[in-house]
Chains A and B, each alone.
Chain A
Amino acid sequence: MIDRRQFVKRTCLGGFALCLDHWATSPAYGQDLIPPAPPIHVNEPAGIVRSALAMPGLFPGRVIEIDDTRAIVNNRVSQPVIHGMLERALRELTGARGVREAWSKFVEPKDIVGIKINPSGAPACCSSPEIVQEIVAGVHSAGVPLQNIHVYDRYAYEIDVGSYQTLVPLGVRVVGVEERKLDASGYDANIYCEANFFGEWETRSYMASIVSSNLTKIINVPTMKDHSAAGVTGCLKNLGYGTFNNVDRSHRRPFSFTDPLIGVMCSVEPLRSKAVLHIMDGMRMLWHGGPLSQNSKFIFPAGILMVGTDPVAMDTIELEKIEAKRSKEGAPSVWSRDPKSLTNNGEEFYEDSSKNLYYRQPHHIAAAGKLGLGTSDLKLIDHRVLGTGG
């Protein structure tokens, strides 16, 4: 193993420059096969004062997990059950006596709130509209007008497949940043991460304008999924790769630079300050074939909801759960670097849980922790499991 120390420069607008050391935590690939991850240059606005709610947020290291077998039955998510689960989890997270008080710790009436969904596995495994509806109701209860609540993601088509437009309450806008491939009109030309991973012609990834300019708070609603390149897709990946464009270039079979790019993207302001709460939808756990698989044999109706402000801690717990499920099903660990597990055949990958397209990079979670986004040490995570219903 080589020491894959990486150095990430941050270049801020207005000529102010800050250099930040970053050590990617992934064990290296064979040195002969691929060089270490290149530097990532970050261009972000100067003078942004980090919010007190910025990741890791108000409750660093705290993860509230609640599960209820009644939450998903016959592949249908029960909104009444979700209602109770979310209320209880939020009260536990915040210590608030009432749910309105809990929501008010994160949003205030003047906010423009974005609910960052994950529709990329739609329709089989995506942010449940029932959970989105409950979040809308909660944000609204804190005084935010429905017209100032936006449900959004990068890909309009995937949002369409999830029917979110139809299912959100009246007044709530649903926004897809990209209506078609290579549509860069919805991105901010001044905020980007720049790196050349594989000799690609476009080396920049730009931040979505809705994040940089329109929203004042973001509530992140990732799903609980395996990811063929990143190991898992949870809070960090849903936020980072769901905010910046041109991210597929970070992985080229069989290699992946999701570590450190995911964490770096989440650290860029104003994203870091605006993402104040993460509600992980574990109604359906996709334990292999992520992020896009529709194969029902890999989708487990886990009925889990996790809530926190620390995306690193939440993804660490998610990773444990995906690992446990894979182990139970006899699938290789997401940490595996066995070349025999690799395939270039997408159909084989989608059918066989022993195969993968990339060497996964679950280390991206710990790397994000090193950027100050949260806690990846299980011993330091305050993981509270609330158990069934209640």
Chain B
Amino acid sequence: MTDNEWPTLLCDNRRSGGQAPQPWRAPQKSLWQASVEGGVRGAPILRDGLLYVTSLAGYLTAIDARNGTVRWRFDAESPIHSTPSFSGGQVFFTSDGGKLHAVDSNSGEKKWVVTAGAESWASPVVSKNTIFFGDASGHMYAVNLADGMVQWKRELGGKVYSSACVAEDRVFVGCGSGEIHCIGSRSGDVLWKTPTGNGIDSSPAIANGTLFVGSLDFFFYAIDTTTGAIRWKYEAELGISSSPAVSGDAVVFGCKAGVLRALNIQNGKLMWAQGLGQAITAPAVISGTTVWLQSGMTYAFNLSDGNLLWRARLGYSLQAAPAVTESAVYLTSMEGDVYALG
């Protein structure tokens, strides 16, 4: 993967929300703006010069990242909330119709489809030729990338709107019952589960053997990935749906009270906090020394001290995570707009 690629939700399978260091440079202008049919709830992903965007009208649209031209679109015949993932020349996404779709990235043609038990908003994660995703029936699924065969299916006891992350043959995901689960990626066995005080719809992230995840119980957790033991937890003002981003010593997340925070990953001590005045539900993204966040407006903050570097008002309906590369920032809006800023 190069610095100009962003092939899955929050950039990589660990959902770290960050990538290689880049110098801060404020976007100077809109490179292009495009529209897709239907509102967009998922984040864009980028691979090989194509931006892939899902929409509530049921389309996966491939857009030329250089100029915003639509290359192709695929009709899933059901609203799509999930962010797609790219692997092996295929794009994968789940739909409200309870299906996991595999689409050829060049032609936009269907490769295969798997039917789950209920709607799925969770973004699939791909690791070692296996796709993992959860659905509202409370199951996690492991599906063979090549042919769509279901390898295992595991009931978790609560609705799964959290997108899983993967590290070292383990899949980590939260669910509506409030538990964070660690599942063996090959066996589908639950290796451990750690309860929190309310449901989880935030997607966990992993760094340095620690899992970071927010819960609707107002707490942000750091959990040992091997044992499931809670290393520390930090209390916010309201529930946490925003997925964290990790870089260096900092983990950054927002809460529904509209406060963006950076905590030290070792001990959970507060490094800085910024009040934005509007509920934060979108994940933060870190690019080099910059934290990107969308909460009504699009913001860039300095990672080290939280100072506001830049913000833009592109409408009030920006909530998804951006995709950030060396040359551009790609954004989607709930109204179906796609922006490239550079």
Interface residues of A (CB under 8 A from B): 75-76, 122-124, 157, 160-161, 163, 165-168, 170, 179-181, 294
Contact = CB atoms under 8 A, between A and B. Distances in A.
A111 to B, nearest CB: 21
B158 interface: yes
Nearest to B155: A170
A168 B176 CA distance: 8
Given A76-B218, A123-B256, A161-B281, A180 B336 contact: yes
B136 A165 contact: yes
* A contact patch SS: loop
Contacts, number: 72
A157 B334 contact: yes
Given A124-B238, A180-B56, A163 B201 contact: yes
A170 B56 contact: no
Interface residues of B, number: 38
8 contacts: A122-B279, A124-B257, A157-B319, A161-B279, A166-B216, A167-B198, A168-B176, A170-B158
A168 B161 CA distance: 12
B2 to A, nearest CB: 33
Interface of B: 38-39, 41, 56, 79, 121, 136-138, 158-159, 161-162, 175-176, 198-201, 216-218, 237-239, 241, 256-258, 277-279, 281, 317, 319, 334-336
B133 to A, nearest CB: 15
Nearest to B157: A170
Contact of B121 (A123, A165, A170, A181): A165
A163 B218 CA distance: 13
Contacts of B257: 123-124, 294
A151 B239 CA distance: 20
A36 to B, nearest CB: 34
B199 A181 contact: no
A179 B256 contact: no
A124 B176 CA distance: 20
A75 B237 contact: yes
B219 to A, nearest CB: 11
Contacts of B256: 122-123, 161
Contact of B176 (A76, A123, A167): A167
A161 B282 CA distance: 10
> What are the 5 A-B residue pairs with the smallest beta carbon separation, nearest first?
A123-B256, A180-B39, A166-B201, A166-B199, A166-B176
B132 to A, nearest CB: 18
Contacts of B56: 179-180
A78 to B, nearest CB: 11
Contacts of B278: 294
Contacts of B162: 166
Contacts of B239: 123, 163
Given A76-B218, A179-B39, A166 B159 contact: yes
A34 to B, nearest CB: 29
Contacts of B175: 166
B332 to A, nearest CB: 12
Contacts of B159: 165-166, 168, 170
Contacts of B38: 179-180
Contacts of B161: 165-166
Nearest to B258: A294
